[in-house]
Structure 1
Amino acid sequence: MLEKETLSVDGKIFTLDYGYDALGTLSSLAYPDGKGAVNFAPNGFGQATQAIRVDGSDSTVFVKGGNDKASYHPNGTINTFTYGNNLVHKTTLNSRQLPQLIHDYLGSTSKVKLGYSYDNNNNITSIINGVDSNFSLSALTYDGLDRLKSTTGNSAGIGSSALSYDALGNIRSYSNTSVLNPSNLTYGYNSSFRLSSVSGTGSEGYNFSQSGSYDNRGNVTHNGKRSFSYNLANQMTASGANRYLYDGYNRRIKTTDSKGTGYSMYSQQGRLLYRETVKGGISYIYLGDKLVAKTGAGVVTKSDDAGYNSVMNFKPFGETIEAANDEVGYTGHKFDTDLGLSYMQARYYDPAIGKFNQPDPVDVLGHLARGSIVHGFNPYTYANNNPYKYIDPTGKIPALLLFAPEIVALGKATLFVGSAGVAGYAGSEAINTYNESSKDEPVKDKKRKYTKKDRKKMYETADGKCEYCGDDITMDPGTGKSMEGDHIIPWVDGGQTDENNGAATCRDCNRSKGKKRLGEKGDQFPPKDPNDRIKDKMLKE
C-alpha cells in the first residue's frame, strides 16, 4: 500500500503521508502543509465517516464524527453527514437509486435544495431549486441518442438553452437566454470535421479558420484568442507567456502564469489534493470521493456561522453565469481564467463552446470497449453531449454522474463545500469532481487474468512472436521469453480481459512495460498500432 508520496520540483519538496487501518483502508492523510493528518475513521465497509484534522492539541472538524458521523445508502452513496459548522448534507434516493432530493441545511434554513426527475433512460428531466427558483430548470429534453436538446429556465437566472447537432455529434448551434450572460452560437466545421468557425453572441474573439489553428495531431494551436503549444505527448506546455509542467501520470504539477508560479499535487486517483501559490498552500479535503472543504492561504472565510453561501451557476456545458473564478469549478476541474479553459488532466476543455481543445486520447475502439457505440467517433465531444448525465474526470472517458456539486461556503477558518446540483448547473469556489457511487476509474472487468486457452489463442494470432520486441516466445513457463497475455487497453483503465484486447508478449517485455500501452509514445518498444491489428483481425473474421 502506498504510504508516502513525494513531489520534488524546482528545489521544493511536497509530501503526502497515508495511514491505514488493520483492514487496509485509508484512515488518515497528512498534507504537505504540515498541519497534522486528517483522520477519516472508516467503517467496516471502508467508507470514511468523518474528516477531522488533528495537529497536536488543536483540531479542525471538516465533517463531524461520533454520533453525527457520515452514513451511507446501501449502494454506497453518501446519505448524510454534518459539516464542522453544523451544516447538514442529506441525499434522498428514488426507487432507482438515483438522487431525488439533495438538501443542505442549517437548522431550519435551506442553503441548497434541489429536486430531480428522470426519464426512462436516466436522463434528468427537471431540476427544481427550492432556494432560488430563478435557477430551476423545469424541463430538459434529449434526442434519440440521449444528447441534450433543450433546457427550460427563467431568463432572469439560469435561462433556457437550445442545441442542435450533426450526424457526427458536432454541435451546430447552442444558445442560452440568461440575461446575466446570454449566448447564441453557430458552429462551422472543415473537411476534417474540426471546428473552423464560431459566430453569434458569445463568440467574440474566436477564430479557428487560420492555417495554423491546428497542429498535425489535431490539437488547437490558436483559437483566435490565444496560441497554444504542445509536446509530443499532446500536453499543453505553453500559451503566450504561460508555461506548464507535467508528471509521469499526465498531471499538471507546475504552472507559471499572470498570477505567478504555482504547484499542484494529486492523488493516485487523480484528485487534486494540494496547491501552492504565491499566497501559500491550499489543502483540498475529501470525505471518500467527495470534496468537502479546502483550507489554507487565500481561502474565502466568514466571521460567523450564519450560513454564508458562495454559489456559482453554469450553463449546460460549463460556462459560468457569474464571473469566472480561477479555482476548482465545473465538475471539479481547475479553471484557468488566463486561458478560458478547464484543465481536465488529459486535455483542456473550453466550456464557452462545449468542446475539447485536443482530440480524445482514447480512440474509437477504446470507447466501443466501454460501451460507447456512437459518441466515441467524435474526438472533441464533451460528456457524450449530455453534461447533466455524464462527467469526464480525466479528459478521457465520460462517466455516469449521479449528482454533481454545488458549493455552500460556511465557516470561520475554512471553506466548507456542500454537495448538490448537477454538472452544468451549479458549482462554486471548490467543487467535487467525483460522485460517491461512480468512481473516477473506468468500470473494470471482474476477470483480470487471461486463461491458458486465451494465451494460446493470442500466441497463435501473433505467430509465436512477442508483439513488442518481435522475439520468439514459448508457451513453457519460467523464462524471460515465456508467453504472457497483456491487456492492450490496460485492465486498470477499463480494458476487457478477452482475446480482442490481448497481446502476446514475452515476460521480459511485459514486466518492463508495466501499464504502458502497446506502441505508446515514449515507449522503448517498437511502435505498433494494436487497434489496426484488432481491426484487421475483425475483418478477417
Structure 2
Amino acid sequence: MVEQNATGEATHFAYDERGWMHKRTNARGQETHYRYDAVGQLIEQKDEVSTVRREYDTDGNLVTVQEEGAGTKHREYDLLGRVTACTDSYGNTIRYRYDENSQLTQTQLIYPDGKVVQYTYDVAGQLTEVKDWAGRRTTYTYDENGRLIKTVRPNGTIEHRSYDAAGQMLRLWDQNRQGVMLQKFSYVYNELGQVVQEEEKQYTYDALKRLVSGEWPGGRVWYSYDKGGNVTGIGTVETAPKKAMGYGKDNRLSHVNEQPVEMDADGNLLVWTENEQTHTYAYDARNRLVRTGQAHYTYDAEFVRTSMTWKGKTTRYVVDQEAVFSRVLMELGEDGSPKAYYVYGQGLIGREDAQGNYLSYHMDMRGSTTMLSDWSGRVTDRYSYGVYGELEQHDGTISQPFCYNGRDGVMTDPNGLYYMRARYYHPGLKRFLNRDILPGDVTEGQTFNRFAYVNGDPVGFIDPLGLAGLGTDDCPKRNKKSRKRFNFDKARKEGIKKIEEKYGGVIEDVTNRRTTLNPKDIKFMQSTISNQTGDYTVLNNANTFSKNPSKILELNPIRVWQDGTGNIWTLDHRRLGASRLAKLDEIPVQWASKAEVYKEAWKFSTEVEGKSVVLLLGKDLSQTIR
C-alpha cells in the first residue's frame, strides 16, 4: 500500500498474511518494522531511533514499554482495568487511588515523592473540590445545566462565568477576596457562534469561517489566506503586509518575505529566515522535533516529551498520561531534584516551587494564562497575547511554561514554540512545524491543510493535542452547540452500574473463547458511532465485506461479551456495524474478559436496548444501522 501526497513523496506500508502492518517506509526512506503476538498486539517496533518492546497482561492491558537507550515504563492495573500506578523511564511512579465501588465520589493522585492531590465529585460526576498535599482547596460550582459558573481558588480569589441560553459564555471575571475586580472579559457572537467581540477587541471572518481581522483601540491586524487555508499575509494596514508567505504543493511553506524555506520529504520544516535570522530544526525518524537553536528535546516511546535542554540546562518532566489531556505534574532538574509541582482540577490551577511558594493561575476563555497570583491574592504576573497566540507582553518575574492555552497543558518554550503534545506550533508562522498525523474531514474542507492552526479561527478554537481544533470549554462550536468535554470516568461508572443492575453483570465462563456468530445476534452498547476512524470508514468496510465476505477474516475478531440475562454485546461497534450493513451471516468473535468490559463500560449509552446504532456521517447526516 502506498500513500502519496501532492508533492509526489510516498509513504509505503507492507502487510503480512493476517493483514497486520509489518513495515512502514516514510518519505525519507526510513523504515520502521513491527512485530505482533498471536492476538495482534504490537510487541516490537524497530526504527532508526531504537527498538521498542511492549508487554501486556492477560486482559490485554499494556504493562511494560521498554526502549533501548531510553529506559522502561511500567503500568499496574486493578480488576476493572484502571491504571493504579505508572512508572516512567526515569523511575518516577505516579499512583492512582479509586474508591472501592468505582463510584466517582473521591479519587487520589499520588506524586512520585508522596504528595497527594484529592478529588471530590458530586452525584452527577462533576468535580467539586481539589485538595492538594498542603490542604489548599479549589472548589467548583455549576449551574443546572452542568456549566461551570464559579471557581474559588486557595488564595481566596474567585472566577465567575455567565452564559446565554445557547450555552455561549457571555462574561468571565475574577475578583480577589475583598471583591476587587482583577480582570474581566465579555463576549459577543455572530449567528455561526464565532466570537465577534471580546471586551474592546472586534473580530471579523470570511465566508470560510477564517479570522481576517482583529481591531482594538490603537491597534489593528489583518490576515489573508489562500484557498488551502494558508496564511499568506499579515499586516496592520491594508497596503503594507509586514509578513508575506508563499506555499507550494501539499500546503508546504515555500518562502517567508521572499526568503526560501526548506522542508524535508515528510513535510517537516527544516530552515527558514526572517530579519536576517535563520531558524533550523532537526527531527528523528519518528518526525519528532529533537533540536532547534539552543533547545534539545527528548521523548519516551509513547511520544511523551520527557525533557528539554535550553542553553545547556536540562529540565525533566514527570507526566500524568492517564488524564484526558496528559499533564506535567513535576519539573525536575537534571539530577532529579524537584523544581516545581503543578496541580490540576478543571485544567491547570496552581504551581508550587521548590521553596514551597504557591501561585494560582487565572485564565481567559481559551485557557490562556492572563495572570498569576500569590498566596495573599496579589497579582504577581500578567500576560497578553496576539490573536494567533503570540506572547506579546509578560509583566512579572516568574518563569513558568504554561502561558498560551496553558490551562490544557500547552507549554511555551523559551524559543517561542508551543508544545502541543503531538507537535509544535509556531505562532509567528501561524502554523505547525510539521504535518498532522490525522487526515482531513470531508465535511470540513479546511481540515485537509495538515499544517494550518485550528482552521483559521484561533479566537474560538484551541488545539492542545496538536491534532485537531477543539472548541474552548465554553466556546460554542460552529454548529452553535457548546462543547463539553466527555467525562469518561463518569460514563464508565454509569455503564458499570447499568451492566450490573439492569443486565445482571458479565458472564465470565465464556471469557477468551473464539467462535463465530451472526452479527444480528450481537447488540450495540453505543447509541452513536462516527463513520471514520483513522484511515478507515464503516461504509468503505461494509462495501468491502459485501463484495468479499472473507475479508473480515483478515481483521482481528470482534470482541463480544454476554450479560446475565443472555444478551450478547460488542465492544467493537464499527466493525459490527460494517458487518450488519454488508448483511454477513457469520463473523469471527472473541469473548472479552470482565475487566475488559468494565474498562470500556463508558460506551454503554444505547437507548434502544442495543438493537441499532446511529452512524454519524458529518454535516448533520446520519444513517441508522439495524
Normalised by the length of structure 2, the TM-score is 0.59
Cα gap change, 1:229/1:290 in structure 2, threshold over 3 Å: closer, same or farther?
A: same
Task: Please tell me whether the aligned partners of residues 80 and 89 of structure 1 are also in contact (alpha carbons under 8 angstroms).
Answer: yes
Distance 1:343 1:453, change over 3 A: closer
3-state SS in 2 of match to 1:375: helix
Distance 1:475 1:79 in 2: 41
- Cα displacement (A) at 1:62: 3.5
Cα deviation, 1:452-473, whole Å, max 9, x if unaligned, reads 999976533454135757x9x9
148, 152, 171: which is aligned to 1:101?
Answer: 171
What is the rounded CA distance, in whole Å, between the counterparts of 1:230 and 1:498 in structure 2? 44
Would you say the 8 A contact 1:62–1:293 is kept in 2?
no
- The alpha-carbon deviation at position 337 of structure 1 amounts to 3.4
RMSD (CA atoms): 4.3
In structure 2, relative to structure 1, the CA distance for the partners of 1:117 and 1:359 (3 Å cut) is same
83-92 vs 225-234, greater mean Cα deviation: 225-234
Superposed displacement of residue 16, structure 1: 3.1
On the 8 A contact 2:214/2:222 being kept in 1, the answer is yes
Say how many residue pairs are matched: 427
> Is the 1:458–1:499 Cα contact (8 Å) retained in structure 2?
no
1:447 aligns with 2:528: yes
For each residue in 1:153-184, what CA deviation from the matched residue of structure 2 results, as whole angstroms up to 9, or x when unmatched?
Answer: 133xxx3221111111111112358xxxx982
Report the CA distance shift for 1:220/1:304 in structure 2 as closer, same or farther (over 3 A): closer
Q: 1:75-474, aligned counterparts within 5 Å?
A: 75-106=145-176, 107-128=178-199, 136-137=200-201, 139-155=202-218, 159-175=219-235, 184-199=242-257, 209-210=260-261, 213-224=262-273, 225-239=278-292, 242-258=295-311, 259-268=313-322, 269-278=324-333, 280-287=338-345, 289-297=346-354, 305-322=376-393, 327-332=401-406, 333-364=409-440, 367-368=441-442, 371=443, 373-403=444-474, 437-438=484-485, 446-447=527-528, 459-466=545-552
Aligned CA distance change for structure 1 residues 75 and 383 (closer, same or farther; 3 Å):
farther
Q: Which runs of 5+ in 1 are unaligned?
A: 65-69, 129-135, 201-206, 405-421, 423-434, 479-483, 515-541
User: Counterpart amino acid of 2:152?
Assistant: T
Aligned-residue offset at 1:28: 2.9
AA of the residue aligned to 1:160: R
Amino acid at match of 2:269: V
Deviation at 1:52, TM superposition (A): 1.1
Larger Rg belongs to:
2
Q: Secondary structure at the match of 1:328?
A: coil
Partner of 2:109: 30
Q: 1:454 to 1:351 in 2, by over 3 A?
A: closer
Which is richer in strand? 2
Gapped regions of structure 2 (runs ≥ 5): 1-80, 360-372, 477-481, 492-524, 532-537, 563-569, 597-626
Distance 2:424 2:547 in 1: 38
Displacement after TM superposition at 1:374 (Å): 1.3
Deviation of 1:254 after TM superposition, in Å, equals 2.9
Aligned residue for 2:125?
46
C-alpha displacement of 1:220: 1.1
Matching of residue 2 in structure 1 with residue 82 in structure 2: yes
SS class of match (1:97) = coil
2:96 alignment partner, one of 17, 24, 45? 17
User: Could you say if the C-alpha distance between residues 18 and 338 of structure 1 is closer, same or farther in structure 2, counting changes exceeding 3 Å?
Assistant: same
CA contact (8 A) 1:342 1:350 kept: yes
Q: Deviations over 1:115-163 (max 9, x none)?
A: 11100101001111xxxxxxx31x11111111101111133xxx32211
Matches of 1:26 and 1:475 in 2, distance apart?
Answer: 31
Distance 1:142 1:457 in 2: 40
2-side partners of 1:98 and 1:360: how far apart? 29
Shift of 1:272: 1.1
For 1:460 and 1:150, the matched residues in 2 are separated by 50
Residue 37 of structure 1: how far off its partner (Å): 1.9
Structure 2 counterpart of 1:165, which letter? Answer: Y
SS at match of 2:550: coil
Worse overlay, 43-52 or 222-231: 222-231
Distance 1:164 1:32 in 2: 47
Give the drift of 1:240: 5.2
Superposed CA deviations along residues 81-107 of structure 1, whole A, max 9, x for unmatched, are: 211111111111112111101011122
Over the matched positions of the two proteins, sequence identity in percent amounts to 18
Match of 1:528 in 2: none
Cα distance change on mapping 1:26 and 1:168 into 2, 3 Å = farther
Q: CA deviation at 1:7?
A: 2.9
Matching residue's letter, 1:290: G
TM-score by length of 1: 0.68
Q: Could you tell me how far apart the structure 2 residues matched to 1:166 and 1:73 are?
A: 43
Which deviates the most, 17-26 or 187-196?
A: 17-26
